[in-house]
Amino acid sequence: MLDKKDLGDKVDNLLGVMERLRAPGGCPWDREQTMETLKPFIIEEAYELVEAIDRGDVQDIEEECGDLLLQVVFISQLANEKRIFTFSSVVEKLVAKLIRRHPHVFSNTEVESSEEVRKNWEKIKKEERKEGRKDSSILAGIPKKLPALIRALQIQERAAKVGFDWPQGEIAPLFDKLQEEIEELEEAREKGDDSKIEEELGDLLFIVVNLARHLKKDAEICLQKANDKFTRRFQFIEESIERSGKKWTEYSLEELEALWQKSKVDI
């Protein structure tokens, strides 16, 4: 059973520690930070938590949850100092949002599937944007700072919700589009048009994400796995070269390719 008083004491202690770190005589580094300087740490901690989850390391997951929470507490402290908002108001708004977006739990709305929950969630979010006089676009709220593959996926998923999508179950048109983008990239390369090459490369990556989505795969995860696979095989080559006592420059491209092919068999 959760001891709410004990939890409350722990949260108060955490906020007190953060306040002390920022106070005169506290930590010089912490006192220098701003919301802008904390941005890379927020991103880093989020990724470290995801990596811990991927490893299934419970102790690391617990620790990384704390590190990510620290960023929220830090931002809240900075805001409190400027009388903008507080950690308390952050929690209060979060609770209100969770209740508002789960009427099937906290109200009398009935749903029969997680898909209905998702549709209701999106409908409520759209109403919130209108009431708050924010951008009411279907694509509103997708952070520009997301990794490009993840952002592309979210953009495509949002567009698909209103029917702007390739036909479901028909993969051939996406492969055709993929080939079209490759040809357009090659044409731009032949012309030596740098800006067009960049544009066509972007289009090619975007359709690859779309193809992955229609194949029920996450492009970000696919690329991460490819990164991991390349890393393992490259490290195999590094170890092979180190054992040989030779230098990289003493290997021909053909010899390196042979080691690469061997890595595909041995690991």
Distance of CA 103 to the CA centre of its chain: 27
Q: With respect to residue 152, please indicate whether it lies within any of the assigned structural domains.
A: yes
**What percent of the chain is predicted at pLDDT more than 90?**
71
Domain end position, chosen among 217, 241, 258: 217
CATH number of the domain that residue 90 is part of:
1.10.287.1080
Does residue 8 sit in the same domain as residue 85?
A: yes
CB 102 within 8 A of CB 123: no
Measured CA angle at 257 (ends 255, 260), to 5 deg = 115
Q: With respect to residue 89, please indicate whether it lies within any of the assigned structural domains.
A: yes
Q: With respect to residue 140, please indicate whether it lies within any of the assigned structural domains.
A: no
Q: With respect to residue 132, please indicate whether it lies within any of the assigned structural domains.
A: no
Does residue 227 sit in the same domain as residue 251?
A: yes
Number of other residues whose CB lies within 10 A of the CB of residue 62: 11
At residue 2, the pLDDT reads 61
At residue 142, the pLDDT reads 87
Does residue 226 sit in the same domain as residue 211?
A: no
At residue 130, the pLDDT reads 67
Residue 3 has pLDDT above 60, yes or no: yes
Does residue 12 sit in the same domain as residue 95?
A: yes
Torsion angles phi and psi, residue 221, rounded to 5: -65, -40
Domain end position, chosen among 68, 100, 132: 100
Does residue 168 sit in the same domain as residue 202?
A: yes
**pLDDT tens digits along 139-159:** 888 888 888 999 999 999 989
As a whole number, the mean pLDDT across the chain is: 91
At residue 114, the pLDDT reads 81
Q: Record the tokens describing residue 123, joined without a space.
A: 């409908």
Does residue 38 sit in the same domain as residue 13?
A: yes
Q: With respect to residue 112, please indicate whether it lies within any of the assigned structural domains.
A: no
At residue 129, the pLDDT reads 67
- Give the residue, 21 or 162, on which the prediction is more confident: 21
At residue 145, the pLDDT reads 82
Mean pLDDT, residues 116-127 taken together: 75
Q: With respect to residue 108, please indicate whether it lies within any of the assigned structural domains.
A: no
pTM of the model: 0.65
Confidence of residue 174 (pLDDT cuts 50, 70, 90): very high
Count of domains in the chain?
3
Does residue 84 sit in the same domain as residue 8?
A: yes
At residue 81, the pLDDT reads 97
Does residue 91 sit in the same domain as residue 8?
A: yes
Q: With respect to residue 105, please indicate whether it lies within any of the assigned structural domains.
A: no
Q: With respect to residue 126, please indicate whether it lies within any of the assigned structural domains.
A: no
Residue 115 has pLDDT above 90, yes or no: no
Does residue 244 sit in the same domain as residue 262?
A: yes
Nearest to 206 by CA among 233, 227, 177: 177
CB 246 within 8 A of CB 172: no
Confidence of residue 75 (pLDDT cuts 50, 70, 90): very high
Does residue 226 sit in the same domain as residue 250?
A: yes
Confidence of residue 112 (pLDDT cuts 50, 70, 90): confident
Domain that holds residue 211: 148-217
Does residue 236 sit in the same domain as residue 212?
A: no
Mean pLDDT, residues 158-171 taken together: 90
Does residue 245 sit in the same domain as residue 188?
A: no
